[in-house]
Structure 1
Amino acid sequence: MATRQLAPGRMPWRGLFVSSISTQCGSSSDLFDVSALLRLGGAKAALDYLDSRQGRDGFLDSSTLARLLLDCGRSSALAEGRRVHEYVVRSRFVRDAFLGNHLVHMYLKCQSFDEAERVFQSAACESFDVATWTAVIVARAGLGKWKLVFGQLDEMDRRGIPPDRVMIKTLFTACTKLGALEEGKLIQDRLAGTQLELDIGVLNLTINMYVKCGCLDGAVQTFARMKRRDVVSWTVMIGAYSQDGKFSLSIQLFREMLLEGTAPNSVTFVSILSGCEAPSLLEQGRQIHALVVESSLESHVVVANSLLGMYSRCRSWEDSRSLFDRMSIRNSVSWSTIIMAYEEFTGVTRTTGIFREYSMAWLSCSIHWYWNSTFF
């Protein structure tokens, strides 16, 4: 692991200055030396200096040790972090909760989960703050150690430490990523009667977890219990119905959102357009397009591409071509969509007609991009 180097040409006078101060002021200047080296050369330089003091580490205070641990965590310097841990063990702050929190976070940031667990489980530190409990729980959830996660939540209950919003939101995110539906349900049950039960951010993540885990009923039930909804809440449910092939319910929900006065965003439009995929739905697609224009989002390339895809699935070549010609920004998705649409509607081979026009323009743009990125 590379460490930060001192600025060339500046090291000599800084070294002489630090040495001069150390000689005149004794141990109080040792802290100055460590701080200066930490700032200029990182934890390794500071630790090398400490090692050179031949065991004279009694002058270290908890703030300096914490700064060393923070630097090791930021740079993922596990070897140096272990060296700082040794200084903590030898110091009078071995049972200091402040340093215990920093030790756990350092090991977690260095991806050394076993060592973080040992520090967390040891009796060396009397207590940990909520941020440390959260970090350990999240690490365990990420590794799929759900038994330990729920055991730790039980321990927090016994100690009277309530889980905070960050912890619960991160746990739902982990459940979504790992497809841990049952664990997500258990976490939701734990929120009953708490302030977080009706937290809109937590509920949005809960709905998303149900959707991504394939439990649409759970998402619907959670959405129905919400006393307040934002654009994220509506968008997740609209997208869920669209993906499940229930476009009529998606449209119904979209209308309810508009009636409640919630303005759709680009993700909302992309979500609802994904379910508009049959010629019989063309008129509804055009109505959504009108709302896109009203929302000043037609120039948003992702939304425009979704509209192109919708017109292609609804087999409206005229609408596809008209929209494509108006697009001020086009990417590979735009070109691919219009080319495939043209071939499907006309049956013209790939060597004639509009395909040649678009493919040559696409090739020209690609060459232009390659030339600029390579030579400039």
Structure 2
Amino acid sequence: MTASNSVSATPWSDTDGQKPLVELRGVTKKFGDVTAVDNIDLDIYAGELFCLLGGSGCGKSTLLRMLAGFESLNSGSIKIDGVDMSDVPAYDRPTNMMFQSYALFPHMSVAKNIAFGLQQDRVPKNDIADRVQDILKLVELQDYGKRKPSQLSGGQRQRVALARALVKQPKLLLLDEPLAALDKKLRKHTQFELANIQEKVGVTFVVVTHDQEEAMTLSSRMAVMDAGRLQQIGTPTEVYEFPESRFVADFIGSANIFEGRVTEDGADHVRVQTDVCDVFIDHGQSVKEGGKIWVALRPEKIHITKSDTPVTGENQVSGVVDDIGYLGETSIYKILLPNDQIIDVTAPNQTRPMNRQHLITWEDKVNISWEPSSAMLLTS
């Protein structure tokens, strides 16, 4: 199985003349009085690894099941490769689904598990054997074909489930929390494995996950969901660096958010007055002078220095270390500000602490500051 040379590496960034593989228009699903998916429009292009990210109950798994044909729509339409799926049952759709539990047959060998779907489709035996061997090589399990699922590790079972889903060569592979059963270290390793396999085969993946780090690592693009609606769609960089709302800024990674008032709205800069300090941003944004706004700062973009001399002015404030979280490669400092607000600051532990005199520790007086480009303005 090889990737198609006709598929752009980033079709979503240059859509001129390209038709989406998946088109959702006004898709809505209700369970009684509860609206699980609320009027969603979404395009997904061939070759993407697209992640639906959100908390429990946000509607992401319901949306995936509607793509698969396991749930009906109350209203709206779903097209896959230009074909309306309204009257197409799950078994006739050009999709396959990899479940969170993997759902492997315990009494069958790895090879027979992978071959099962092809046998149901009455593919010739010789073709089945060749395709099973090819997919086993792709997932690096060519020596495990005769083993039973119980003889495999969690990561190996995950790859068998992936191989079984891919061997039928679907146009669209749907993955529901595919790495949730793995421990943290294995999950991180498998994230890159999964992305590499997707790139090799060229099949469009739609992955549902609640794990922000997983979505950021895997996806070419991602959609953040909440209460049945899509809050923002973009590349991981776009969503993280340019969130469109307080919900997205706070849900993706960590963010310090404080309220302010726009005091100056220039073509190439914005000034905001807050209870923390005055904030200067060195890029223009469509905001209303005098209007309420929110400033968001990522903890890793804030500089921290130990100092007994307080600072005032734009993009800087003094405080006291209220708490510290040591994470090995980084430390999280919780800084108590004069207005009693706590700001999180993340700093890399780049050197070993040989001289404790220069360490920042509890109750130390510190100054924090950030670059004019680091603050994010949020209007909602």
Please classify the TM superposition score into its range, dividing by the shorter chain length.
under 0.3
Higher-strand-fraction structure: 2
Query: Which structure ranks higher in relative contact order (CA pairs < 8 Å, sequence separation ≥ 6)?
Result: 2
Higher-helix-fraction structure: 1
Could you state the TM-score of these two structures normalised by the residue count of structure 1? 0.27
Structure number with larger C-alpha Rg = 1
